[in-house]
Amino acid sequence: MSVGCIGTRRLRAGLAVRRTSSGGRRLGRSCLGALAPALCLLLVPAPRLAAQARGPDAEAAAVREAFLHAWRGYERYAWGHDELLPLSRGARDWYPASFVMTPVDAFDTMLLMGLTDEAARAKALIIERLSFDRDFPVQVFEVTIRLLGGLISAYQMDGDPRFLALARDLGNRLLPAFESKTGMPYRYVNLHTGAVSGPESNPAEIGTLMLELGTLSKLTSDARYYDAAKRAVTSLYGRRSRIGLVGSEIDVESGVWRGIDSHVGGGIDSYYEYLLKSWLLFGDQDFKRMWDSSVAAVNRYVADEAPTGYWYGYADMVTGGRSATRFGALEAFFAAVLARSGDTARAGRLMRSIFRMWTTFGVEPEEWNYALMRPISPGYELRPEAIESAYYLFRITGDERYRDLGRVMVDSLLRYTRAEVGFAALRDVETKQQRDRMESFFLAETLKYAFLLFAPPQTLDFDAVIFNTEAHPIRRTWP
């Protein structure tokens, strides 16, 4: 498929516009300011930035250097903690004790980048300090995607059985969360006592456990994890509306919906991702059926053919009526999922809208009103989804223009978020004022997808892995 349809003369005009620019922000602004939006959209895949003149190897090296800059900040100021605070040069833990979240999340990225010394230090820290026997409640979803996912990919890539032992211990401690009347998990579980809390949950937190727990079952020959996660998804799917949509909040005890907005953003997003990927990873046809019917409903009611582009907004899960023209950084993952499902046509159209959202200010905002083309929530949390989608589209279609989009986004993101120590989220994408936060997913996902976009394809066999929602590559090593 092709990103845009445009003649060479116009293409050259597009090149000229951009070559006079010095940066991502000016790129976006000059493009949108000087040209009608529709023409601009057609031009975006065309530019070759100065960075590209250096070639993909140099680009990959630049991302690797950025990763090292982030990691060195962590090593120096946050060693043993969950996260680096880049501006205050401090550390942050999610809970009363650290789960060394950044090293666990970043470990497989280090292996892919060939950072063997850093990986060895991270591994030693994980093996020495990581313990799940903790007497406080943790968020089942976050701990699963970041820690369980990280430990599973660490085990598969490194081979050390201690990673699997840690994963199994965590899996056992998470199981009590599924003991609700509906089989859908509570949001929190105390890892020591098994006490549960948080009955008000959402599709993402209920339905994004399958790849990690399912793989744990396959690797340990213990079906309990797979069965618990599958029962949760099936129970949730069974509560979809008559038109096939899920809402934004549900009570896991009563099974009653508490929020009826349907969308593909935070709180729902990775539920869809895992329907597709659970089928691809496990070959379980039940997931294929659930994916097929769900994506059909989403494409019918949530997708929006707006004058400003092709988007996925908000719809009422009961009536299918449009409830908001809202899209954002989290929703941007959907182009990757559509592409992985084989729907590169919709994925490509959505990618163009995502790129437009990104280039309006040089970095994407957290939430965006696509009817007004204005931010609703102006921050940038160092999120990966837009770059993830460019990477998927590039790998799946082989169309260089998707790598061009990715290049523009990576280039501006590294420029505006780099701090003296590590990288910092942005408080506002218009002012580019930085915020004292560097989430572990920046090293697990954002820099991994950015690196893989430019690295030689043999760095990771894209077709042989399924990335969990935290970009931990999982391989099917079982029959």
Which residue, 441 or 451, is less far from ligand DMJ as judged by CB? 441
Which residue, 146 or 218, is less far from ligand DMJ as judged by CB? 146
DSSP 3-state assignment of 324? strand
Of 118, 366, 411, 445, the catalytic one is 366
Burial class (CB in 10 A: 0-12, 13-18, 19+), 372: exposed
d(CA 424, CA 84): 10
Of 385, 439, 445, 470, the catalytic one is 385
DSSP string, 448-460: HHHHHHHS-GGGS
Residue 256 sits at φ, ψ, to 5 deg, of: -90, 135
Which residue, 43 or 232, is less far from ligand DMJ as judged by CB? 232
Our answer to whether residue 160 is catalytic in this structure is: no
Non-local (6+) Cβ contacts of 456 within 8 A are 56, 57
Closest listed residue to residue 380, CA positions, set 339, 337, 427, 335 = 427
Residue with structure tokens 């560097």?
Answer: 438
Which residue, 308 or 468, is less far from ligand DMJ as judged by CB? 468
Which residue, 46 or 274, is less far from ligand DMJ as judged by CB? 274
Burial class (CB in 10 A: 0-12, 13-18, 19+), 245: buried
DSSP string, 266-293: TTTHHHHHHHHHHHHHH--HHHHHHHHH
**What is the nearest approach in angstroms of ligand DMJ to the Cβ of residue 86?**
17
Binding site for ligand DMJ (CB under 6 A): 145, 270, 330, 383-385, 441, 445, 469-470
**What is the nearest approach in angstroms of ligand DMJ to the Cβ of residue 244?**
22
**What is the nearest approach in angstroms of ligand DMJ to the Cβ of residue 274?**
10
**What is the nearest approach in angstroms of ligand DMJ to the Cβ of residue 441?**
4
At 460, the amino acid letter reads L
The H-assigned helical ranges of 175-209 are 203-207
| Termini Cα distance of the chain | 34
**What is the nearest approach in angstroms of ligand DMJ to the Cβ of residue 231?**
21
Our answer to whether residue 179 is catalytic in this structure is: no
**What is the nearest approach in angstroms of ligand DMJ to the Cβ of residue 364?**
11
Which residue, 182 or 440, is less far from ligand DMJ as judged by CB? 440
Which residue, 86 or 384, is less far from ligand DMJ as judged by CB? 384
DSSP string, 375-386: EEE--B----HH
Is-contact 471 384, C-beta < 8 A? Answer: yes
Our answer to whether residue 142 is catalytic in this structure is: yes
**What is the nearest approach in angstroms of ligand DMJ to the Cβ of residue 83?**
12
Our answer to whether residue 385 is catalytic in this structure is: yes
d(CA 116, CA 78): 20
Of 142, 160, 251, 253, the catalytic one is 142
Of 83, 269, 331, 381, the catalytic one is 269
Is-contact 231 281, C-beta < 8 A? Answer: no
- Residues with active-site annotation: 142, 269, 366, 385
